[in-house]
Structure 1
Amino acid sequence: MKFQEGDKIIVIATGEHGAVVEWINKKMLTIDVGGVQFPVYADQIDFPYFDAFTKKKSAPTKRSTSIEIPNREKKPVRNIPRDGVHLSFFPILDKDVFDEDVFSHFRVYILNHTDDRLMLHFRVFFKEQKELETKHAIAALEDLYLFDMSFDRLNDHPVYNFDFSLEQANSQKASHHAVSYKPRAKQILTLSEKTVKEHNASFSFVLFQSYPEKGMEVSAERTSDLKEDTMVDGSIDLSQLLKAGFKVQRKR
């Protein structure tokens, strides 16, 4: 492949400099620009020395006594819809002994597409045994890398437990919001194949669309093929949750 992990690159469309994080598939890779990681197609980036060689040298000008303040390098503009908190899977490909592409593992992220800064207590269970426990702060409209999960561990009945709370307490909002997510191997495999076939980088599931109001604390169990919650005016429709098989607990 043209690029290797750690290579310095330039984004052709914007001229911004960054570095290669890893390949996602044959055509896409993850890059880091100014601390922000996002997927791009390989033909959207190039090596910075090529850009330097192709730029025309400007004619020498007379020195001026005025001082010019250099412009700060612009970060990529991200137009993020306020559509909730998502769990995102990035399928990573590898080669088997026959040089065929196979799914190696997933990079798992939380996407905070809300204006709330959230605190997260995250735990992962395989075969009912806890194997990972971490705590994080997630800035508004930011993504957070959680962990890598190998493809074969889908057979070990994984369960992801999320316990969200607001970094700044709000008397009008719930003290916490818990979601338990259970990936289904068949569904994850189908979505992974579709993602690669359509040259996308990832697929995601909505954990919740807005942080619940006070008195509406919810403990929800979700699976990979469960439909999104029905939301009305930023609150949770408990009847829809009950129909979907959620375990709902009102704060007393």
Structure 2
Amino acid sequence: MTNKPIVLIQAGTAPDKIRKEVGDYPSWFCSALDLDLENLEIVRVFEGEVLPSPDPARAAIITGSFAMVTDRLLWSETTAQWIRDAMTVEMPLFGVCYGHQLMAHALGGRVGYHPAGQEIGCQEIRLLDSAAADPLLTGMPARFAAHLTHLQSVIDVPPGARVLAASDHDPHQIIRYGRQAISAQFHPEFDREICAAIVRLHADSVREEGGDPDALLAQITSTAEAKALLTRFVEQALGRPATRAGDTLTLP
């Protein structure tokens, strides 16, 4: 029996309107990684699916969600415990948005609603001095564009964690928790069409907060540097290229 080397921990599903326009989380990550769905073990934890035992020979990516970490839903808290277990065996972990917040929560940090409201659209991420020696961020530009959409943020980072990047809105854009565990508040798996669909979905709330959704839509650009983090994570975790669409990646 073989295991697929990448576990996609799906923490939610996009609203019907988004799915009809641009698909859902699994297809977004497959596109960003240039992999077929068959190369991922997708575990829909938000529907109660059981995660495999943590395995340091595999890599796990924890997706975003339209849920809130502070609701402490049963599936979310169960996944938080799995994250703690995975950390003990140094399984490679990459959290995205909700996954970023859930990792911080699981490991002793504090998550809550951002006092300045939502961060959405294409925004600039700045690497901090602490990122200079990080193996995943080596060679990255000091500033790069990324797609974002979130109401909650990591308010306090876990003890011992290192903050590697920030934006004007959120000081905790990338957090390193250990040699094999990292997370990002932004969405490296988004493309311009996904980001635009998300902005249109939240247009009314953007206006309520004094923002201009049309201006946000006009500012959306490609985010190759942010996207590259996913590929680099998988390559470093598995020790081989991740971009093998059409092939089957398996582990003994």
For the criterion TM > 0.5, the same-fold answer is no
Determine which structure has greater relative contact order: mean sequence separation of CA pairs < 8 Å that are 6+ residues apart, divided by chain length: 2
Q: TM-score, normalised by structure 2?
A: 0.24
Which structure has more helix as a fraction of its residues? 2
What is the TM-score when the length of structure 1 is the normalising length? 0.24
